[in-house]
Amino acid sequence: MISRWRLPQHDYWSTPFAESLLRHLDLFPEATVLDVAGGQGIPAFYVAERVGPSGRVVSIDVSAGQVARARAIQGAHLPWLQFMCADMRELPADLSAYDRITGNLSVMFFRPNRFDVIQGLVKHLNPGGQMVLTFPSLGTFDSLWRRVDQEMAALGLLTERRRLEEYIAERPSAEEGRDWLDRAGLDRLDVVEYPLEVATGWGQELLRHPLLRGGFLDDVYECFDDQLLAERVMTQVSEDLDGVLPLIAQRCVLAGWKPVA
């Protein structure tokens, strides 16, 4: 099959996670799929092409801007794929049940009650259906967080260190994910982590990295009330990365099946 909707090769974050998701997703023609936290359609376009016009894919995201961009990319193609603005934490009770539920880089958006969201999604999964979710799990960029903590400790920044510790502890582990699926009643569980190296250099290359500064590093900066102090600490960290590089993320895949009876 020649694919028109291949995963974008220029996306060095969403695409590797989507590749991990697809490695575990059991797709078939005519399947119905609910994709949560769908963003701009990675991997919804790919999934829709594979279920074919007799199938149906609904991709939801809470961001109206993301949904609009996905629709613009879609144009008149794949009419059995629908992008909707909706909050997966508050799905309507009359929402259909689906053969598959996917969520690439989704679990971080399930806060504050991640298990409740998974339990709610399972209600919309057909008996015999499969759920596959991905997220960056505990251990992602640990070497960087240790270096930031070291710098905070050297400066006696107790409040900032406590906030950093809380931020790191809030990231779920693969074991927690397995427990959620088990408690939600899924079986044939498959929970796997795949390491992913994120290329970056020292100094401003790290601090202005489009992935790190647009997400992970922002969370570190939020540990500081004084942003000038934050910049001082992070500049020092960025210029002393011995033992930090390469940066390794953990791509965690949570997969499970809803029993038939």
- Per-residue pLDDT tens over the stretch 18-40: 999 999 999 999 999 999 999 99
Burial 142-173 (b: 16+ CB within 10 A, else e): bebbebbbebbeeeebeebbebbeeebeebbb
Query: What is residue 10's predicted lDDT score, i.e. its pLDDT?
Result: 87
Could you write out the DSSP letters of every residue in 207-225? HT-TTIIIIIHHHHHTT-S
Q: Which residues of 238-261 are buried (b: 16+ CB within 10 A; e: fewer)?
A: beebeebbebebbbbbbbbbbeee
pLDDT band at residue 112 using 50, 70 and 90 as cut-offs: confident
**Mean pLDDT computed over every residue of the chain:** 95
∠ CA 54-104-34, nearest 5°, is 35
What would the two tokens of residue 241 be? 């990365």
Q: Average pLDDT in the 85-93 region?
A: 88
Map residue 232 onto helix, strand or coil: helix
Q: Residue 2: what pLDDT?
A: 52
Q: What's domain 14-137+172-197+250-257's architecture?
A: 3-Layer(aba) Sandwich (3.40)
Map 155-210 to HEC letters. Answer: CCCHHHHHHHHHHHHCCCCHHHHHHHHHHCCCEEEEEEEEEEEECCCCCHHHHCCC
Residues 33-59 pLDDT 10s = 999 999 999 999 999 999 999 999 999
**For the chain, which residues make up each domain, given as ranges?**
14-137+172-197+250-257, 142-168+200-245
